[in-house]
Amino acid sequence: MATAMPRKSNDSARSTKEPKQAIDPVVLGHALSDAMERAIPLLQEYMERRGKDVTMQALDPMINLQERFTSFMAVLMSNPRRVVELQLDYWNQWANLWQNTFQKLSGEKAEDLYKPEPGDRRFRSEEWNENILFDFIKQSYLMTSGWMHRVVRSTEGLSPEMTEQIDFYTRQFADAMAPTNFVLTNPDVLRETIRTGGENLVNGLENLLEDMERGHGELKISTTDYEVFRPGKNIAVTKGAVVYQNDLMQLIQYEPTTDKVNKTPLLVVAPWINKYYILDLRPENSLVKWLVDQGHTVFMVSWVNPQQEHAKKNFSDYMHEGVLDSLEQIKKITGEKSVNVMAYCIGGTLLAITLAWLKERGMEDTVKSITMLTTLIDFEKAGELKLFTDIKQIEAMEKTMEQHGVLSGDYLQKTFALLRANDMIWSFVINNYLMGKEPFPFDLLYWNEDSTNMPCAMHSFYLRNMYLENKLIKPEGLEIDGVKIDVRDIDTPAYFLSTREDHIAPWKATYSGYSAFTGPKKFTLSASGHVAGIVNPPAAGKYCYWSSSENTPSPEKWLEHAAETKGSWWTDWQKWAEDFTGGKTSPREIVNAIEQAPGSYVLKK
């Protein structure tokens, strides 16, 4: 088996030698030959593993690709007239593009016929607009990829689900074939190759092989410098201690920093997909530190990274051993009868279930208010993640989970990366392998790769009951410990925060869950995405948010009435939360600490 080599430091990627002006084919050839010798054993190892491991074959996000495209082509070809129309349309676009290019070659001023979407960072270099050849390459790619998507979207006879699936796979193909991903059609790479005499390609091959060694023969793209960050050293450093633990979670209490604190404590329920410290990265972008500095007594649930012994932990266990145990411990520590709770992503889904369960048992006063961050309750329009949760995909995941007890965090990480392939895959392919550079140290990406496993029982329940059958939004559709769950019974004051560019919990889907709540409630929409829209400290001066007092069932109507405010939603939430603080009291010092924060559970790889 290949031994993983240490990653080159960022300094090593910046050669101090004078750059060469021409590529030496002999030197480059030797370097490529040496790299290939290293690559062959890794490829052989990977193929042997893939051939033997049926679960490795089954857990493929593209598992039904051939079947779906075969069905799509059958529907498309059943209408020959439409096929001819599409072909004529395509060739007409080519003719227009050639005419546009000839105008530019003749010195005439001509606007591009095809332009990148706002936010598409692939074509930022000046050459894509100033060099006629690269301009033509860019436009022909955008034209063709756009035409492909229109073919899928305009094909009649497909179910909405099939259309979404085919369109997603078409986008994956189009993204992979972008001219930016190839040496000879990326002006930045060509320029760097000439500048370094091909050293960038040699460095890129070294990076590629190191990533394959890191993945034990399977490509595991590096997205950041993994030596820079360490939880408890320079991230997850807000002072606190573990004050309670069971085999599923550790409860962290943070030290006060103000002369007085709010009487009502605040529990934060982090998602157990990845780790809690997304909310406590560096001091300057830590939501936990900011909350403590506002006078909240903050407690955090730090979930264990499940191993085979956790295979039978189910959603009920996460409710009892996670949320309910935490609430009881917090009440004992603080002497308060109720707690404010903030929950993020799947943690919010769990909180909604817990509240409905408490309501049914007459115990809802335990929670004074709730804050739901990018939380799905209605999974009908849960975005592209639903493409990975049809019955065949779920059965494949259950097969491997039954064998290993858990679903590997690597699988989830790859799935999330596919949802934003240009940002999370191809940008690093270009940077690492074509430009030959090291990825930039970035705390969010370090956290993103610090993935966690999913217990078999819990994950199967979650996928089948939420994504597949959407039971949580249905009146008494879900049952936990014999208790019928109905989120419409929840009348606890609620603050919902969603993000406008969220690809994991689309904001219109989260708004549907918000509409089901019957108590006092407020919906706020932050700019940016699932993570960056949450980790947005006021001092950064980034993004904005929208808020409205309207409670229309339509998210589009809500947005029409919403007012845009510059800055962070954190300050808006703080104004809302002041009604539920219960007054002030003396700071609560930590007693009976088990170990210092961030605790040992979060360090488990």
How confident is the prediction for the chain on average, in pLDDT? 90
For residue 82, what are its two tokens?
């439409």
Whether 313 and 306 have beta carbons less than 8 Å apart is answered as: yes
Q: Return all residues near 226 (Cβ < 8 A) that are at least 6 apart.
A: 7, 446, 449
pLDDT at 390: 85
Q: Is 461 left (phi over 0), alpha (psi -120 to 50) or beta?
A: alpha
Read off the pLDDT of residues 393-408 as tens digits, 9 standing for 90 and up.
899 889 889 999 999 9
- Using CA atoms, how far apart are residues 172 and 178, in angstroms rounded to an integer? 10
- Rg of the chain (C-alpha set): 26
State the average pLDDT over residues 580-594.
Answer: 96
At residue 76, does pLDDT exceed 80? yes
Pairwise CA distance, residues 192 & 125, whole Å: 13
- 171 pLDDT more than 80: yes
CA distance 381 to 584: 42
Instruction: Give percent of the chain with pLDDT exceeding 90.
Output: 74
The packing angle between helices 132-154 and 160-176, to 10°, is 160
Q: What is the pLDDT of residue 173?
A: 92
Least confident of 218-227, 370-379, 530-539, 572-581: 218-227
- What pLDDT is attached to residue 581? 97
Q: Residue 202: which pLDDT band, with cuts at 50, 70 and 90?
A: confident
> Domain extents for the chain?
10-223+421-437, 240-408+453-603
**Percentage, residues of the chain above pLDDT 70:** 89
Question: Could you give the residue numbers annotated as active site?
Answer: 345
Q: 296-347 pLDDT, tens per residue?
A: 999 999 999 999 999 999 999 999 999 999 999 999 999 999 999 999 999 9
The DSSP bridge pattern shows strands 584-585 and 563-566 to be unpaired
Q: What is the pLDDT of residue 14?
A: 39
Under CATH, what is the fold of the domain 240-408+453-603? Rossmann fold (3.40.50)
Residue 597: how many CB atoms within 10 A of its CB? Answer: 27
* pLDDT tens-digit series, residues 53-65: 544 444 455 556 7
Residue 3 is classified by DSSP as: P
Chain-centroid distance, C-alpha 190 = 32
- What pLDDT shows up at residue 33? 62
Inter-residue contact 93 to 119 (CB < 8 Å): no
pLDDT band for position 66 (cuts 50, 70, 90) = confident
pLDDT mean over 537-555: 92
9 has a pLDDT exceeding 70: no
Mean pLDDT of 185-192: 91
Beta bridge partners of 45: none
Rounded Cα distance between 574 and 444, Å, is 24
What average pLDDT score do residues 501-517 get?
96
**Which phi and psi angles does 213 have, rounded to 5°?**
-65, -40
In the structure, what pLDDT confidence band is assigned to residue 111 with cuts at 50, 70 and 90? very high
* 474-477-481-487 Cα dihedral, nearest 10 degrees: 10
pLDDT-derived band at 195, boundaries 50, 70, 90: confident
Nearest to 258 by CA among 596, 590, 597, 588: 588
Cβ 559 vs Cβ 304: under 8 Å: no
Alpha-carbon distance 166 to 331, whole Å?
A: 51
Residue 17 predicted with pLDDT over 60:
no
- Residue type for position 235: I
Answer whether 140's CB lies under 8 Å from 177's CB. no
Question: Rounded to whole angstroms, how far apart are CA atoms 490 and 377?
Answer: 12
The average pLDDT across 284-296 equals 98
In sequence order, what are the residues at sequence separation of 6 or more whose Cβ sits closer than 8 angstroms to the Cβ of residue 477?
469, 470, 471, 485
Overall average pLDDT of the 128-135 stretch: 94
How many Å separate Cα 367 from the centre of its chain? 29
